Amino acid sequence: MINDKCIVLVSGGMDSCVTAAVAARDRRELAFLHVSYGQKTEERERRAFNEIADHFGVTERLDVSIAYLADIGGSSLTDESIEVSEADLESTEIPTSYVPFRNANMLSIATSWAEVIGAARIFIGVVAEDSSGYPDCRPLFIDAFEKMIDTGTKPETRISLETPLIDMSKAEIVTRGIELGAPLQLTWSCYRNSDVACGTCDSCALRLRGFEQAGILDPISYREFPADNSREKEYEQSAQGKDQTS
């Protein structure tokens, strides 16, 4: 029986955290899905996933691995022979961090789980701003995959894909996260490191630019910043100020 249960794909990053906050806003019954794929920061992302799930009080969690993507290779996130490149936010080329067809693999798992637990919606934090580099973040891809779900599941199954951030900029995502009380201080975005974020990979650079444009201090520590509690305190103060003026 289909109910209002929702599956949220939670990588541990900022976008998926804000997506979870959107799903939680309407007090839906949530199930969190984390998919690791042999990425270099796998353990740190898993920690972020569980801390975010704890924050939202989500007990129904599925943590699975598709490490075969690392065996396939072709991405600097999974292949030790490919260096994570420095950020180039003006580039329109597909970056080395692209993991071939990763979102299709993840959404397939989410669809299988949704059929079993009767979830009517799958939330995924794809952002079209990233689509110049990641073709599986485009609205066209999401629409096509939703049609595939309709075709490849039981006749009575109705599962929609929810992409609440897809048309938003990183700055808008930060602002939305603040408005919803998303625990951005628990998230992890760095492609290189698991202790202190590098600040110069594509993911770090996009995140830092988003916080800067939103007028909010990023609460996590980066290589050039001291790893202490001062940034989180400053973040809380700036976030409170932003929330009061929004």
CB environment 16-37: b (16+ within 10 A), e (fewer):
bbbbbbbbbeeebebbbbbbbb
CB burial of residue 80 (10 Å; 0-12, 13-18, 19+): exposed
Q: How far apart are CA 104 and CA 122, in angstroms?
A: 13
Cβ 182 vs Cβ 216: under 8 Å: no
Look-up: residue for tokens 């975010």? 52
* pLDDT tens digits along 10-21: 999 999 999 999
Query: Within 13 Å and on the Cβ side, how many CA atoms surround 144?
Result: 9
Q: Is 209 helix (H, G, I), strand (E, B) or coil?
A: helix
In the predicted structure, residue 230 carries a pLDDT above the cut 80? no
User: Among residues 107, 218, 136, which one has the least CA distance to residue 173?
Assistant: 218
- Cβ neighbours for 8, distance < 8 A, ≥ 6 positions apart: 16, 19, 20, 23, 30, 31, 32, 33, 122, 123, 124
E strand segments, the chain: 5-9, 29-36, 61-65, 121-123, 160-162
CATH, residue 149: 3.40.50.620
Domain count, the chain: 1
In the predicted structure, residue 226 carries a pLDDT above the cut 60? no
Q: How far apart are CA 97 and CA 24, in angstroms?
A: 30
What's the predicted TM-score (pTM) here? 0.91
- Cβ neighbours for 68, distance < 8 A, ≥ 6 positions apart: 38
Instruction: Provide the domain limits for residue 114.
Output: 5-245
* pLDDT tens digits along 47-62: 999 999 999 999 999 9
* pLDDT tens digits along 74-106: 999 999 999 998 988 888 888 899 999 999 999
Mean pLDDT in residue range 225-244: 61
In the predicted structure, residue 232 carries a pLDDT above the cut 80? no
* pLDDT tens digits along 21-35: 999 998 779 999 999
